[in-house]
Structure 1
């Protein structure tokens, strides 16, 4: 009689004990996104933990709570589930997570959603912020239809819901009128007016080529910020840093790079000043500092200031060393400057840190190995990229080419066949136009 050998994996799976604690590094670092458990590794995950703690804690004074500003990547939760293999955590509503997998903070979020009709406008705002941060965009939109009568926190909630609609693919042509409607419904609130201006300045600056609208709303940001009559408190300095970063899109589209640099320098000074200051949670100060350094890097690249770009990108990885996007950005700066070994080190670090940039990081790692003449390592990196992102057409192209050059016929044939299948499923020709720029944020 053959004796059955029960592996640790089988035991954990059969006894429903597979959790983020037993999984991958990315599952550990980004655990707050899965179940609001643990403190989180990168600043982005710590911000998710912060909103979970906010919903679970006693309701503070409305003016005493600050919402996170970070924009959660749409694919984060999907990529994290795929990478960790934790299929039971693939939910669209908090209550869909099995009770055995819920942390106390996640259960508090479930309770708040269940009690939605009894919540006040401010607590609803906190819940919407949590759902948005956790990539539960469907839930945020559905509850957004039940926000209640107009008011300041209803308006702020609606702005987050509009962000969730954007993540779900709603047309920008619909989202701008929705944003303007929020402004029309709550014109007396300086806080709402400033939030709308910031949202639209960033929207036009990033998502469109509407130069006039970008300038108009960037100027509006500065005007609304001036009307706030700030007294220089740490909270005021945090908001000043946020608004300066948003307003910098105006001079950027006008080509006034000196003005952009000056505004971002002031934004960074404010970001440093609020770090550790009373009244501003450290995670939110860190989140803002990350956003400022990232913008400084991008602005420096745009104006060709390679020295500042490298310094800011390096500072970004020092500020948030567990954030793969920061290492991707540093890798891109090194690559563009021809420092391929340094780019390789940065991209490999990003790949190890994982979701949601695992596929991109391994692709960029492969490009570096290929440039350095190490084709076997390049093939392995491209294969890792495809494993992390099975529909990664660009990585498949590179894998096919490198495998063919190194005589790995089976691997080259497999990549070729995959490309052929994807070609027909996409009903579009696969060409070099699909290639992403080195360091691109997939």
Structure 2
């Protein structure tokens, strides 16, 4: 009786989590990460039971990392278990120690990176809608503590996300003890990864040494840490809503918003957590109105040009970066002249052989308008097309030395107009009640440059 009750409520809670959070839709195909351990075995068994009434197709994927002597045993067990459930089984093998050595990073981090790469490749190959991993509450609590130790900020306290792209983690609602209880009552066999007992690995040290000490003080340690991560996620969502922007251009922003913008832009390029050390370095440079390149994880760079900021994977050259805020009236920088006005001005000379003026919707401008040098990766939507600034210049056969002198005009949300290309759709409105007029010229423009 107890066995049936435990099984029923475990699967009922899992089903409600899947349907209430729209994790899996009926008739979808999912790639399931099956290690052979108690977490993945229990989740696969429960999902297979649920799929009998709420149909979706499961493909179990086992990754042999080539680390342990028992890796072949684990793969064969996983194959046998999946086949016993009638679940399609596939496996992949990669020699992680060699990859970690070549990448000059830890075994754990390298294994995680390659595992997700293989998950994504399998999802593409089998046209799968979702990728499922068997992370639980204990994993989440360990991740939060691990991130705190590494110096992460609020993002790190958020822990493991329920969803990220195609990846879903439906078992984050259970503790490891609840999962082991379910496996026991369902008579499920599983393998034990002996490396999970090695406290030389930081996560294992937290699992076997730190958390037990904390639980002696409070038996609800796991639940409390997971609740903290939920509260942090709510604050993150609020800050993201306030601070969303592609380009940071205001050195007067408070640290809470500026740091959030840095994190938001970094997250567009990497799944890793940006350390507080890197965030502080970027913020200090912006607040000091200096230009610099700061190296970041995953071969990324923060390129800071006084009050503007960009994260990119490309090698940047900032030999002579420049930027300046535009005030109403005449603005001059070297051989560039920009007139900003709320009134239409009669201008007779042709500017950049493109247009005499740019007309912008006053009410759609966000924050300060400023001009800056072109950055690698600059792009904006103009005439419903996302236009890469460099490619547009090249297509128009503009020489590099000329390209580097053409001002890119921005507001606090990014590019608003560029000579030779046009005005960003988000600030264009020919019927605007109030307009801003920009007149841009550069001295000594030769016929060849035109």
Q: Same fold (TM over 0.5)?
A: no
TM-score using structure 2 length: 0.26
Q: Kindly indicate which of the two structures has a greater share of residues assigned to strand.
A: 2
Q: Kindly indicate which of the two structures has a greater share of residues assigned to helix.
A: 1
Q: Which has the larger radius of gyration?
A: 2
